[in-house]
């Protein structure tokens, strides 16, 4: 059964072919581009379910492609996984802040790529918000209209910032967010804060969550995420 279309934007033919074969074996259809410009054109035309995007492309590089796609209202929400040989923290953070949903560093196993694709495509399916505004994430229930949090039925007393941080992460399980992205979402883009401030908020939140603290994961060198539930 066809699972959807994946667009591979990669200038190395061997990698394009390997990824295409593996994805097709998993039931996905694939389209491929060897340059950033070709990738943007193909994505706008075919509107795939997900994009595998190499950063180091001839001409228009992967970051420019990502920026362009995120500014196109028809395809701005299409998931993007960066595939990069540049594994430095700065490159990964830049890609995520540009709008990528995940990243994979080269060299990689095709099985890992398949796993990450499945993970990105099912994100959000393990948390839900009902008609009354209750966001449920595992044992955590967040009452969005009343700004209340319950853990396994018991009330949890959070500060306003801790509450916003928890709601932000739990509403997007599995997504990795940089500290700056968290700051922009929780306190607004004009709020002056250091990375250390975000770390302090996470420490305080974890203490109050007790055994459920494990649901808030640290992504070393990048930021934080709410663990994807299985």
Confidence at residue 15, expressed as pLDDT on a 0 to 100 scale: 92
pLDDT at 91 over 90: no
Q: Are residues 109 and 188 in the same domain?
A: no
Q: Are residues 162 and 196 in the same domain?
A: yes
Q: Which of 121, 142, 157 is the last residue of a domain?
A: 121
Q: Are residues 9 and 114 in the same domain?
A: yes
The number of domains in the chain is: 2
Q: Bin 109: left if φ > 0, else alpha if -120 < ψ < 50, else beta.
A: beta
Average pLDDT over residues 142-146: 89
Q: Which of 121, 138, 153 is the last residue of a domain?
A: 121
Q: Are residues 169 and 215 in the same domain?
A: yes
Q: Are residues 81 and 160 in the same domain?
A: no
CATH of the domain at 89: 3.40.50.2300
Report pTM. Answer: 0.64
Which domain, by its residues, includes 160? 127-226
Confidence at residue 124, expressed as pLDDT on a 0 to 100 scale: 45
Confidence at residue 194, expressed as pLDDT on a 0 to 100 scale: 60
Q: Which of 121, 154, 175 is the last residue of a domain?
A: 121
Q: Are residues 202 and 133 in the same domain?
A: yes
Confidence at residue 123, expressed as pLDDT on a 0 to 100 scale: 63
Q: Are residues 220 and 157 in the same domain?
A: yes
Q: Are residues 165 and 185 in the same domain?
A: yes
Q: Express each pLDDT in 147-173 by its tens digit.
A: 899 999 899 999 888 998 999 899 888
CATH of the domain at 186: 1.10.10.10
Q: Are residues 131 and 95 in the same domain?
A: no
């Amino acid at each position: 059964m066809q699972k959807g279309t994946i667009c591979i934007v990669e200038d190395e033919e061997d990698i394009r072919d390997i990824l295409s074969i593996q994805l097709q074996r998993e039931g996905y259809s694939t389209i491929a581009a060897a340059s950033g410009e070709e990738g943007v054109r193909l994505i706008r035309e075919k509107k795939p379910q997900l994009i595998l995007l190499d950063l180091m492309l001839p001409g228009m590089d992967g970051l420019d492609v990502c920026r362009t796609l995120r500014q196109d209202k028809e395809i701005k929400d299409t998931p993007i996984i960066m595939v990069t040989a540049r594994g430095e923290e700065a490159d990964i953070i830049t890609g995520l802040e540009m709008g990528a949903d995940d990243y994979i560093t080269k060299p990689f196993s095709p099985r890992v790529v398949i796993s990450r694709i499945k993970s990105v495509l099912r994100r959000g399916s393990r948390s839900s918000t009902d008609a009354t505004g209750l966001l449920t994430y595992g044992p955590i229930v967040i009452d969005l209209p009343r700004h209340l949090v319950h853990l396994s039925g018991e009330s949890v007393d959070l500060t306003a910032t801790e509450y916003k941080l928890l709601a932000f992460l739990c509403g997007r399980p599995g997504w990795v967010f940089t500290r700056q992205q968290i700051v922009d979402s929780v306190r607004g883009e004009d709020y002056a804060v250091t990375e250390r401030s975000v770390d302090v908020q996470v420490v305080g939140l974890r203490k109050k969550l007790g055994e459920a603290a494990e649901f808030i994961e640290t992504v070393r060198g990048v930021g934080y995420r709410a663990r994807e539930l299985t």
